[in-house]
Structure 1
Amino acid sequence: MSRHYPFVLLALVIAALTEQPSGPNVKAQSRPQSQAAHEVASPKANARANTTFALEGTDLLKDPVREGIREEQRQEIIQYFTRQIAATPAKRDNLWQPTFSSLDAYKLSVQEHRNHLRKMLGLIEARPGTPQIKVLQESANLKVEDVTIPIDGGLSARALLFLPKSAVAAGGVIAVPPENESREEFAGIVQGMTPAKWLSALLEHNVAVAVPMMAERRDDHPLCRQAGNKDRRRLLWRAGFIVGRTLVGVEVQQVLALREFLASQRNIEAKKIAVMGERQGGMTALYAAAVDEELGSAATLDYFQQRENCWKEPVDRVLYGQLNEFGDAEVAALIAPRPLLIVHSAKNPIPSASVKAEFRRAQRFYAGLQVPDKLTNLEVPGDALEVAALRVASLLGANEKRNLPDLTVRNPSSEVERGRNQHFEALLQYLRGLCDASDQVRADYWRLSATPPDDRPQKAQKLHEELSDLMGIIPSENVPLHPRSALIGETDKFLAYDIFLDVVPGVQVYGQLLIPRAVAGHSQTRLPAVVCQHGFDGAPKYISGVGRNLETNDHFYHRFGQRLAERGYVVFAPYMTVPEYHPPAGVGPGANLKNPADLGDVIQRADLINPLVRLAAPLGMMRTSIELAKLHRVVDFLETLDYVDRNRIGYYGLSYGGYSAIWMSPLEPRLKLTVISAFFNDWRTMLTDTARFGSSYWSLPDEDFYNWNVLNRFAHSELIAAMWPRPVCIEYGSEDPVTTPVWHKRAWKEVQAFAESWEMNNKIVDDDFVGPHTIHGIGTFFFLDRWLRPERSGERDYGCRDYNYCNETVAPGFHGYSRGSKGAVPYATQVLDSNHSLVIHGQFYVSDSSPVFTGMAFKIARRGNPGDVVVKFGSSEASEDLGQARIQSQDVYPIYDLWYEARLNKPVRLDPKKTYFFEIGVESGQAPKDFYTVFGPTPLGGKGFPSNFGLSFRTLLQEHE
């Protein structure tokens, strides 16, 4: 037992930094300073204000980093993806090499592309049911029906069907409305309207017409307002895309069902069914004809063009990986040799040159099949729909004009509105049902808990492969790392540098590097390193503590990278491009968040984020792909540093940094461990919950997290499984407004099941605390030490052990305390008495160099006359198979935070690879009279649960066996 540690005056001998000319090989050393331990001094404030220092082995970064770096980094990513998109037409030309020797050979050569397109659209095998038909009008020469055709569960195709009465109809046309019109408006049968000319033209040529009901791009439903004023199509796209169903594909599926229905009508020849559509309907028509070879011909109005700007189009058109294989010309290639009519009207904003350029690309397929005349491009000054309708009728052989059937049916606006709403709500319910079912789909697909031990490596590899396929892997292009640096700050514990690294042409990593002074000039010393990642609207300075206006984010980050550097970790804090719009002074984001009708700055956030998301998607990438490429370069750089142990590099991210931790760590195998802070949750609920405005992502305006088919493949349990066999720690505050405790527990239950079945309980930790969206820094710092410093036994404390590194986790600005200062104590305290609810539970481990365990020491003080402190040690929670130890009550002093040892009667050899458990309680006594005070480091944010209080302890080992 040690009652008190004497005060020892430590003289820190610091070698003066020899002034050298600025250049790439200046070695990082320290120079005399008077700043307090946590106060980061700028080298510019020193007498040598005109001298800038670079890290050894790097080029000098001459220009200081300015606030504009965040927008510069965003623009670099935009330009990179833009260049990749610009290169896709040539890549598609090389990819598409069909065989033109015969029609059968051609069809066979493009069949794989057709299959890919069906998969890209998310088409399914329909399960058709009995159509429901409601007759709206029946006269001598015309019958009008409202037809509903079941497709799959709650998914149906609903259409107005106009059937001329004759012995044999000339054919049928499925006419798809544009995005801003209902089917009744498109046909002109709303009360007060005149039937559309295009419809009349087809009917008077004896052509049957089906007009499907499609969702409009309008935000006029209560659910749209609830979701932050998103339009109907955008909501449907969100709900479907994350379970592998595009909205375009859902609408194509409806067209296919209608074609089958028309083909079943005895007076319509199956081979004479065409599809046409305007604008959004033109896209649906084009893709429907491409995947269904039974459609005889197609016409697309005001849609066909070069598709390289698809990222600027409405998000409901997104097809993941589209441009890698399909522009409009390639979609047309799947229609060939059937007739395809491309119509471009004068009122359409699509540039004529873009239409013509893509038309020329499509011509090679029709020319190769020797049917160039079956691909037609028309520029129409007048009514393009009527012109297209007449052309389609001609393609069907309906050249004979007859008397126009008397179309009298008119639907009241209220009935049209009711039908629109029913259709939208049914579609949304269907897609949300797929979301609800995704948990089971995902579980059945991976079968993690049922994976035999011998199959785990293969299962982990499959997880990596599918995650890589989803995220997209950016090749390095053999770009040299070319590190540039500049010394920007220093304390008595570390040096701080700005760092730039090249990633791919035109893209660079920016970050801040903190180097403990313990290794300055000592290349033989190898320290663990941690990549510390900020969250949304963050910056490296909030982690490193080097920069201005740090206080604005201290309640999130608490400069935790600085804390780690003081503990002897090399820290790299990269900038991640997750910018937020900052409104003008006096405009508060909080007020806007509470009012879905006036989203203000939140909409501006989408303007910054969505271009990155949208640019990546047609390339088959998440925008995170570029951040993953940056992470690879950061690890490359850390491995070049002589004082970094390349086998002990971890990753610790908060908020969006937690997102990056869970998504990117599986694909960077050199990371030893991962800490996920303030992000882990029930991913399905987080993406789809409609009740928690501003917290679930459903109400947010950017599409960052809405990834293709993600819920059928990856929630957080699968992402953690993909990190196997590496350790993972989850840090969660119970008052975090982003994730409810219920969501957190539900997700953790899934992870626990995996951890149990894969024997990972020892390596996967859930560190919960009482607090908000913040770094806690108690269990996570212990976790980092556990896995990055196995040569040490488990311990936790506050203050500095020596002048090389500290244990402290106190808030920024604290440098010791005086007994008269109430707000400056370096510790937190908790009452410990015989109350069972106050028993403290914890974990410990032994070092690989001294595995013989003899007991533990704790910092405690006594009040009154409580019973002895009893400590139980076990190999599992709530067990005491390792023994029991005591601290006698009479040995403990009152008031002061002193160390007291609880030693076992007999030493026990433990496995350094395992984590063990202890619980500390008291035999008798009740506060406020007879109890103990237990001391531990002050958390960076929040506070511990009483049963998991982060008390100070040391693991006692037998030094010599």
Structure 2
Amino acid sequence: MKPLTVLLLLTTLPCLSVFAQEPAPEWPVLKPAANASPLPGTEKLTEKGDLSHQLVLANDAFLDQQLAAAEGTRDALWKIGTYQAEDRRTELAKLLGMDRDARSESVRFEYYSVQKAQKAVAEGLVIYQVRWEAIDGIHGEGLLLEPEGKDHLILADVIAIPDADQTPEEIAGLTEGDSDTSPYALLLAQSGCRVLVPMLINRNENTYKMTNREWLHRPAFILGRHLLGYELHKVLAGVDGLIATQGKAKDRPLGVIGWGEGGLLALYAGALDTRIEGTGVCGYFGPRERLWSEPAEHNIHGLLSTFGDAEIASLVAPRPLVIESGVYPNFVFRPDEKGEPEIIEVHSQPNGKPGRFSVPSPEGVTHELERLQQIAGVDANLTAITSEQAVGTSALETFTRGLGIEPGNRLKTPIAFKKVYDDPEGLDHIAQRHADQMTEIDRFNQRALIQSHQDRQTFFKDLKTDNLDAFAESIESYRDIFRTEVIGDFEIERVPYNPRSRKYQEGPKTISYEVVLDVLPGVFAYGILTLPKDLDLAAGEKRPVVVCQHGLEGTPQDVIGEAKHNAYSAFATRLAEQGFITFAPQNGYKYFDRFRLQQFKSQSIGKTLFSIIIPQHQQITDWLAAQSFVDPERIAFYGLSYGGKSAMRIPPLVDRYCLSICSADFNEWVWKNAATDPKSLRYSYANKGEYEIFEWNLGGTFNYAEMAALICPRPFMVERGHFDGVGSDESVAYEFAKARNLYAAKLGIGDLCEIEWFPGPHMINGVGTYAFLHKHLNWPGP
């Protein structure tokens, strides 16, 4: 071989060796720690297994304890002589969102054209198709059964409410085949009653894999309204219409009766409106502590803090109340192999909430009846019936006697009508009627969405922005509302930290510890503390901390290393490599249905998931602030996705957070929850699987700009990727402009409020935000 050839080979080999090496990974290379010794000042952590799962289960057990205690709390609120029934009626109507929209002042029944009006006639009885206005833009629609002829006087007016999966025609005796109930609207009409039968939205599953009722409930809920509230407006407007059309018979008694969903509405209507002189509740009465396991549209925020079925029924007293138990709608959405609502812990495709129409045990019904007797005392005018037939003869006879009617045999055998809906035209009409009612409510929700911007402006009218002192003073009343009415506060004293830790991982520049802290009885916090290796724990140096929050279904491990690096960019470790201390907490939004149903447990007693998460962060930040190596004035929050949701909800109520960064979540949040137009559905939660995401009445109180006002005057930043599917650039910019206006234009502190746009997806970009942290935490850049 020639010398030149040898030289070339010798000089080329090192290069070949370099090119043959694997490229360095983008994520930090972290290895298990050499030992599991604890952080100084803590006990050794010995818990085994998946701590994130244990945390979620502990949250669940805590909520079950709070639900079990709710009945005792209500007992104290309902002692005889300690409350005014009218105040409780007002409170119940507010929980249902019925205070938001005025009922129509002059209600008249609108009969269909003559050709379609008279759908069935028998001797002495006629049935009409009718509609009536309930609130502006929403109508009731159904059947009106009238005794007819000089020998058939109307003795009472009744609203008979079917279950959601029944049509008015079914309880009017106009359909063939078996029915879940007697044709009780028809039987009441035979007994001399004029009977109005409203239709309800059914529980059919739609194309978005949820029921029709949940589809309408979701936007209504965040806008401070409720599907049950809309349907009660229809029922009570029906009361208005019946009274307005009584003619000279102004003293004619009026009652409401229903089964299943109709029983629920009858109970609530009888409680709310004292013009209703008799109430029949069939297939719906019992303990309500498992409200969270019922269909989504039964979720009434804060109901169980004040009302169970017994408390609501007590508002009917001293008017007659009939409660029939024994037969209930057989409805389960997303059933498991045992027929119970399924609880899936891994990410799955279903969009709708699992739920079952409540079927209480006989013992449960008896217990709730006893509570009703205790609350109502001598005023209770109650008849409790157990029946093997829904809306059976005994219940109907007792109900009509309460209205002053002696029914005789007319409640036992329905007259025979021609079944007018055997023909396609009749069936088409039923389907079109339901579609029209769906469209009306959806349209009303979208109109309320547009109106919500003005509602929030009115809500925030007392905020002072003349100067920072006036702002700081006036914002506190809004912070209190946010804490108590939006997030919910258990107001339980936190327990001692009892800190446990163990070394977890090491990198070239960092070392991390798993940390567990006790928070509330049975509730703990868990996270990963990452320390720069150049931090001398014994030297007394105090450094800033960045709390790095994972997103949906995440864990602390996701934000520190290789796991899910494409989204999180290992930002908890990267920031520690730049000299910050970081802490990555486990938040409770993990394990799919398990945590989502916790939102419903929480909301039933006026709380939310964040009612537990916030005390966990208060404990974490207090513990961090107590560490000798932490500057307690420089603890920042930075979260991605659901962690971005956390960035908008936690720092307003955890004052140790000196700044907040919302990444991959900031939005026109109310629009993102409530919009149902085809273009918006690309981004909206209205048709997605996050069925827990909807928070009561944010539309009337706090959008993201208003939450940012609760963070102000602390530094606030948004990190936004142009290709992030959580929303459009326009919606993000629209909402951020309002926050920026407060900081820059009104308060003159524009340097504390920033947004970074970058050409990327749903991820931590770590450029502008890192500079923001270095600037406001007063830490030198890399």
Q: In 2, distance between residues paired with 1:621 and 1:270?
A: 44
CA contact (8 A) 2:161 2:198 kept: yes
In structure 2, what is the equivalent of residue 186 of structure 1?
171
Q: In 2, distance between residues paired with 1:190 and 1:458?
A: 64
- 1:774 correspondence with 2:754: no
- 1:128 correspondence with 2:105: yes
Match of 1:561 among 562, 568, 572: 572
- 1:663 correspondence with 2:640: no
Partner-residue secondary structure (3-state), 2:725 = coil
Higher mean displacement: 778-787 or 142-151:
142-151
Instruction: Flag structure 1 segments of 5+ consecutive residues without an equivalent.
Output: 1-35, 45-50, 100-105, 581-604, 797-806, 808-961
In structure 1, what is the equivalent of residue 352 of structure 2?
none
- 1:266 correspondence with 2:247: yes
Deviations 1:764-801 (A, max 9, x none): 101111111111111111111111117x6xxx5xxxxx
For residues 176-575 of structure 1, the aligned pairs below 5 Å read: 176-190=161-175, 197-219=183-205, 224-225=206-207, 228-264=208-244, 265-266=246-247, 269-270=250-251, 272-346=253-327, 349-366=359-376, 368=377, 370-372=378-380, 374-401=381-408, 407-408=417-418, 410-411=420-421, 412-447=426-461, 451-453=465-467, 455-468=470-483, 469-545=485-561, 550=562, 552-575=563-586
- 1:39 correspondence with 2:54: no
CA displacement at 1:759 relative to structure 2: 2.1
In structure 2, what is the equivalent of residue 55 of structure 1?
39
CA contact (8 A) 1:191 1:413 kept: no
For residues 107-146 of structure 1, the aligned pairs below 5 Å read: 109-124=84-99, 125-129=102-106, 131=108, 132-134=110-112, 135-137=117-119, 141-146=124-129
In structure 2, what is the equivalent of residue 712 of structure 1?
700
Q: In 2, distance between residues paired with 1:249 and 1:688?
A: 17
Q: Amino acid of the residue matched to residue 488 of structure 1?
A: Y
CA displacement at 1:141 relative to structure 2: 1.9
CA displacement at 1:381 relative to structure 2: 2.1
Partner-residue secondary structure (3-state), 2:643 = helix
Q: Amino acid of the residue matched to residue 785 of structure 1?
A: H
Q: In 2, distance between residues paired with 1:150 and 1:761?
A: 49
CA contact (8 A) 1:146 1:159 kept: yes
CA contact (8 A) 2:155 2:192 kept: yes
CA displacement at 1:231 relative to structure 2: 1.1
CA displacement at 1:177 relative to structure 2: 0.9
CA contact (8 A) 2:280 2:399 kept: yes
CA contact (8 A) 1:336 1:365 kept: no
CA contact (8 A) 1:658 1:675 kept: yes
Change (3 A) 1:428 1:485: same
Partner-residue secondary structure (3-state), 2:534 = helix
Q: Amino acid of the residue matched to residue 775 of structure 1?
A: I
* Higher relative contact order structure (alpha carbons within 8 Å, sequence separation ≥ 6): 2
CA contact (8 A) 1:202 1:390 kept: no
In structure 2, what is the equivalent of residue 33 of structure 1?
none
Q: Amino acid of the residue matched to residue 95 of structure 1?
A: L
CA contact (8 A) 2:597 2:692 kept: no
For residues 71-82 of structure 1, the aligned pairs below 5 Å read: 71-82=53-64
Change (3 A) 1:92 1:520: same
CA displacement at 1:688 relative to structure 2: 2.6
Q: Amino acid of the residue matched to residue 243 of structure 1?
A: L
Give the alignment's TM-score, normalised by structure 2: 0.86
Change (3 A) 1:470 1:205: same
CA displacement at 1:257 relative to structure 2: 0.7
Match of 1:765 among 734, 754, 758: 754
Higher alpha-carbon Rg: 1
CA displacement at 1:564 relative to structure 2: 1.0
Partner-residue secondary structure (3-state), 1:488 = strand
Q: In 2, distance between residues paired with 1:271 and 1:760?
A: 66
Match of 1:577 among 583, 588, 591: 588
Higher mean displacement: 653-662 or 742-751:
742-751
Deviations 1:162-215 (A, max 9, x none): 111257421111111112112222323247899953233212211111111111
Change (3 A) 1:744 1:649: same
Deviations 1:46-103 (A, max 9, x none): xxxxx53111111111245x4x33322221111111100000111111111222xxxx
The percent of aligned pairs where both chains have the same amino acid is 27
CA displacement at 1:383 relative to structure 2: 4.5
Q: Amino acid of the residue matched to residue 556 of structure 1?
A: A
Partner-residue secondary structure (3-state), 1:514 = strand
Q: In 2, distance between residues paired with 1:52 and 1:420?
A: 63
Q: Amino acid of the residue matched to residue 487 of structure 1?
A: K
Deviations 1:140-171 (A, max 9, x none): 62232222221322012223111112574211
Q: Amino acid of the residue matched to residue 80 of structure 1?
A: F
Q: In 1, distance between residues paired with 2:462 and 2:183?
A: 59
Q: How many residues align?
A: 705
Match of 1:87 among 69, 74, 94: 69
Q: Amino acid of the residue matched to residue 237 of structure 1?
A: H
CA contact (8 A) 2:668 2:704 kept: yes
- 1:155 correspondence with 2:138: yes
Q: Amino acid of the residue matched to residue 93 of structure 1?
A: D
CA contact (8 A) 1:272 1:396 kept: yes
Q: CA RMSD in A?
A: 2.4
- 1:174 correspondence with 2:159: yes
CA contact (8 A) 2:27 2:565 kept: no
In structure 1, what is the equivalent of residue 776 of structure 2?
787
Change (3 A) 1:630 1:426: same
Deviations 1:889-925 (A, max 9, x none): xxxxxxxxxxxxxxxxxxxxxxxxxxxxxxxxxxxxx
Q: In 2, distance between residues paired with 1:379 and 1:402?
A: 21
Q: Amino acid of the residue matched to residue 234 of structure 2?
A: Q
Q: In 2, distance between residues paired with 1:608 and 1:745?
A: 34
Change (3 A) 1:709 1:268: farther
Q: Amino acid of the residue matched to residue 498 of structure 2?
A: H
CA displacement at 1:639 relative to structure 2: 1.0
Q: In 2, distance between residues paired with 1:142 and 1:296?
A: 24
Partner-residue secondary structure (3-state), 2:486 = helix
Partner-residue secondary structure (3-state), 2:74 = helix
CA contact (8 A) 2:537 2:629 kept: no
Deviations 1:731-787 (A, max 9, x none): 011111222212212222222332222323111101111111111111111111111
In structure 1, what is the equivalent of residue 619 of structure 2?
633
In structure 2, what is the equivalent of residue 913 of structure 1?
none
Change (3 A) 1:409 1:52: closer
In structure 1, what is the equivalent of residue 727 of structure 2?
739
Give the alignment's TM-score, normalised by structure 1: 0.70
Q: In 1, distance between residues paired with 2:251 and 2:653?
A: 51
Deviations 1:478-532 (A, max 9, x none): 4111110001122342221000001111111110001223332334211011111
In structure 2, what is the equivalent of residue 727 of structure 1?
715
Q: In 2, distance between residues paired with 1:346 and 1:709?
A: 35
Q: In 2, distance between residues paired with 1:347 and 1:782?
A: 61
Structure number with the higher helix fraction is 2
Partner-residue secondary structure (3-state), 1:294 = coil
Q: In 1, distance between residues paired with 2:27 and 2:224?
A: 53
Partner-residue secondary structure (3-state), 1:519 = coil
Q: Amino acid of the residue matched to residue 613 of structure 1?
A: Q
